[in-house]
Amino acid sequence: MIILIGNKKGGTGKTTLTMLLAWYLSYLRHSDVQVIDMDERQNISLMAAKDRILENEPLYEVTECRPDFFPPLLESLGQKVNQVVLVDLPAGTDDEHYVPVLKSADVFLCPFGYDEFTMDATLLFAIVAGKVNPAAKIVFIPNRLKAGVRYELRAEADAT
C-alpha cells in the first residue's frame, strides 16, 4: 500500500503525521514500513540520521527522494506482503514531476487546520489529487486543534 501525506500548505503536520504513522504501523502493527522523504527540509531523514548516531535500531527505513527519482525508487522496493510505503510530500507539489508520485497513491492523507488559508490549500490539493488519481481515497485529518476555540469553518468543512 502506498500512502501519500500531503497538503499544498506548509505547517499542517504532514511530517509529524508521517513519522507517527510509520512508528504505529511498524511497532504496533508489525508492518514492513518504508518512508520516502520528499520534503525539501528532509526532517524525517535528519531524525533517522540522529537515531543512527544514538545506535537505535530503526523501526522503518527512510529514503530521501526527489520527484524525478521516485518511479525507479518505487520499482526497486517491489511489492511485498504487509509493506506500507509512506511518502512525506512537500508543501508545493505544483511541479509536473509530481504527477507520477500522485498517480502511485492508494490513499492520500491530508492533514489540515480550519483556518481559511489552510482550507483553501487543502481543497486545491484534494482537487488536484482527485484529478490525477481518481481511484485513490482521500482522507482529511483535522490537525492542530485547540480545545475551547470556535472554528468558523469547521461546520462547513465537516458537512462536505
Task: Encode pLDDT of 111-123 as tens digits.
Answer: 998 888 889 999 9
The pLDDT-based confidence of 53 (bands split at 50, 70, 90) is confident
What element of type H or E holds 19? helix 14-23
- Answer whether residue 1 shows pLDDT above 80: yes
What pLDDT does residue 151 have? Answer: 58
- Higher pLDDT, residue 51 or 46: 46
CATH of the domain at 121: 3.40.50.300
pTM of the complete model: 0.87
Instruction: Tell me if residue 5 falls in helix, strand or coil.
Output: strand
**CB neighbour list of residue 71: distance below 8 Å, 6 or more residues apart:** 100, 104
Using an 8 Å Cβ cutoff, are 5 and 88 in contact?
A: yes
Query: Distance between CA atoms of 92 and 103, rounded to whole angstroms?
Result: 16
Q: What total of structural domains would you count in the chain?
A: 1
- Tell me the residue range of the domain where 76 lies: 2-159
User: Could you tell me if residue 84 is left (phi over 0), alpha (psi between -120 and 50 degrees) or otherwise beta?
Assistant: beta
Instruction: Tell me if residue 62 falls in helix, strand or coil.
Output: strand
What pLDDT does residue 79 have? Answer: 75
Task: Encode pLDDT of 123-157 as tens digits.
Answer: 999 999 999 999 999 999 998 776 665 656 566 66
